[in-house]
Amino acid sequence: MRYIFVLFFSISITAQAQLPFEEEVKQIQQYNDSLWDSSRPTIVFTGSSSIRFWNDVQERFPQQQVLNTGFGGSQFSDLEHYLEELILNYNPVKVFIYEGDNDIFAKKRPRKIVKRADNILSTLQQRNPNMEIVLISAKPSISRWKYRGRYRRLNRKLNRLASETKGIDFVDVWYPMLDKRKVKQDIFIEDGLHMNDKGYDIWYDVIKDYID
């Protein structure tokens, strides 16, 4: 009996450990559900903190209905777990995905990251064949500049994946954020990782052509 109890307790702890971001995702859902007009075409931006902190993304695209379902600290594996809650429930005509930044920082190999990304794309296309998907490249940053080689390899692989998959686009924010061969210093907040308004201005200039 004691063994059964310990086993049950262990399984419960394991199940809880497999649900990171659960509370945050619930809050994101509640907020977006209060804004969402299901009668209008919807564009979803999702991914890690660079999306989560893009507070004026709707204001930058006023002609569209834009929902921000980004959740800070996430990786492709986390997004895969919440595709229903963060993307599919809103039946978007287009979704922009920014993941991979934290995957590289967690020392995952680009090949494995892209495999996970491919799984996500396959699931989304199966569930909603008419949805357009845009992969946003990993960005450079001051705090993670030493990993730039790995980020570039990941971006090349994501670009290749998009080019080989119908209905998928790849938008490069890496090079627009550079000043020659160095990352621009004035586009980040104090932590050297997250962007200020100047950084998001760059993203807007690049992404706007993929909105329509």
**pLDDT tens for residues 31-42?**
999 999 999 999
- Residue 13: what pLDDT? 47
Distance from C-alpha of 10 to C-alpha of 6, rounded to nearest angstrom = 6
DSSP string, 157-210: HHHHHHHTSTTEEEE--TGGGEETTEE-STTB-TTSSSB-HHHHHHHHHHHGGG
Distance from C-alpha of 178 to C-alpha of 60, rounded to nearest angstrom = 22
- Residue 17: what pLDDT? 54
- Residue 212: what pLDDT? 82
The domains located in the chain, with CATH, are 25-210 (3.40.50.1110)
C-beta of residue 91 within 8 angstroms of C-beta of residue 36: no
Percent of the chain with pLDDT over 90: 90
- 20: part of which helix (H) or strand (E)? none
- Residue 11: what pLDDT? 46
C-beta of residue 141 within 8 angstroms of C-beta of residue 192: yes
Phi, psi of 173 (to 5 degrees): -105, -5
186: amino acid identity, one letter: D
- Integer angstrom CA distances of residue 206 from 30, 60, 63, 117: 30, 12, 17, 22
Compute mean pLDDT per 10 residues along the chain, 212 residues long, and list them. Answer: 47 55 97 97 98 98 98 97 98 98 98 98 97 98 98 98 97 97 97 98 98 88
- Parallel, antiparallel or unpaired: strands 182-183 and 178-179: antiparallel
Distance from C-alpha of 114 to C-alpha of 97, rounded to nearest angstrom = 13
- 92: part of which helix (H) or strand (E)? none
- Residue 210: what pLDDT? 97
C-beta of residue 45 within 8 angstroms of C-beta of residue 32: no
